[in-house]
Amino acid sequence: MARICIYGAGSIGCYLGGRLAAGGAEVGLIGRSGVGEELRAHGLTLTHYDGGSWRVAPNAIVFSTDPSAAANADLVLVTVKSGATAQAAAELADVVAPEAVVISFQNGLGNADTLRAALPGRTVLAGVVPFNVVRRSPGAFHQASEGEPEVEDAAALAPFLPDFTRAGFALARHRDILPVQWAKLLFNLNNAVNALSGLPLQQELGQRGYRRCLALAQAEALDLMAQARITPARLTPLPARWIPALLRLPDALFTRLARKMLAIDPLARSSMADDLAAGRATEVDWINGEVVRLAQRLVRSAPANERLVALIHAAEASGGKQSWSGETLLAELRTSARRS
């Protein structure tokens, strides 16, 4: 059986690795020592918002803090935060086998390119994890929203497809992954809004003020994407260009029309909110910052996304819990737009 290595045993890495291991794949995880101690004590418990559950016993978990543990892997799933990609690439360059397949299951657009540059000759693919994973308790990870892993297609994936099938994943493969990445990024623009709100996702999205902040950030991104001739993939029943109008609807109408969008675990927060709460650097530069960089390439501006980046960095520096109201945040973003 192919050996699969999860490089970056955080919430996404533990969930993907746990599901694959529960399906019978030979899986090893690489991460921080604290995570290893947690998994050795509690094992892995994986749950799904539709009621599915999986269990991996502590003695069945192979965990290491040493990047060299990836040396025997046939498939490496990179799930570190985007800010750690360059370091991960440098560490993997010394150990990954020439015939190994590497998939970047990370936020942002350029992580696979960073890995490719450091891993010449290997098959490096970009991937997308569209769902939210919540750490409910030590060793317990919950998929709190819908979606399946998506990946750039390649013939080298064939030996691993049965592993994903046995894990219960309908691994979606795409000839061109960039439209999927942009579509995911449009939804991830809410991560900053959620982190600044201090609320669980379901509560935040249930309030029109916050949704209008997201609509402003998305509309700005969509205008820039149109100028750059980037068409996002359709990941929802509605085309991406219609989502901002849906977000601006009054609460009662939005709740009726967007049940799937609100089908989130009541306690789920964005990964950016979790990072702020834990005092970690966020991925805002690889999410809203991607929109700002696109604007710069087009000699345009992206004031709403630029302001969200600045506010998140200020929150990182202050280390305090955020509690912006939707209307106050919206006024802040609109003021930035008028100044641009």
Contact 36, 50 (CB under 8 A): no
Tens digits of per-residue pLDDT, 39-87? 999 999 999 988 999 999 999 999 999 999 999 999 999 999 999 999 9
Distance of CA 229 to the CA centre of its chain: 24
Can you read off the two tokens belonging to residue 18?
């746990």
Q: What is 3-175's CATH topology? A: Rossmann fold (3.40.50)
Output the CA–CA distances (angstroms, integers) from residue 182 to 38, 131, 188, 237, 298, in the order listed: 34, 15, 10, 16, 17
Examine the pLDDT at 1 and tell me if it is beyond 60. Answer: no
| Residue spans of beta strands (DSSP E) within 21-139 | 26-30, 44-48, 53-56, 62-64, 75-78, 101-105, 123-128, 133-137
Q: Where are the domains of the chain?
A: 3-175, 179-339
Nearest Cα to Cα of residue 173 among 117, 101, 119, 228:
101
Write down the residue that tokens 């490719």 correspond to.
116
What architecture does CATH give domain 179-339? Orthogonal Bundle (1.10)
At 125, the pLDDT band (50, 70, 90 cuts) reads very high
The pTM for the full model equals 0.92
CB neighbourhood size of 302 (10 A): 27
Examine the pLDDT at 300 and tell me if it is beyond 70. Answer: yes
Contact 223, 172 (CB under 8 A): no
